[in-house]
Amino acid sequence: MKNAKRKHLIVNAPCHLFTPRLSKTGKRLALRLSDADWVIANRHRGTLRIKGVVTNQATGKRYRIKGAACGLQCCCDATGEEV
């Protein structure tokens, strides 16, 4: 049963799941990133210094990502906007 819930996360190519909030609406994105884009997204993880442009492997759309405060004292969240 647990694997059935995660079936939508399985793709043919190896990828990493990154879930920033969409800047305009606050909706959570589910971006599938390549290894190179994963390095960009995690370079300054947990800080406001996250910056870069990544490509969603599932759709081919590009997103500009940056660090954002989650509302707590940590800075664990990120936002994205379509380029």
- Per residue of the chain (83 residues), what is the pLDDT tens digit? 455 455 444 455 678 999 998 989 989 999 999 999 999 988 877 677 788 999 999 999 999 999 887 666 666 678 999 99
- Name residue 26's amino acid: G
How many C-beta atoms lie closer than 10 Å to residue 81's C-beta?
A: 13
CB 32 within 8 A of CB 15: yes
pLDDT for 1 equals 45
Q: What is the pLDDT of residue 50?
A: 83
Distance between CA atoms of residues 9 and 44, nearest Å: 25
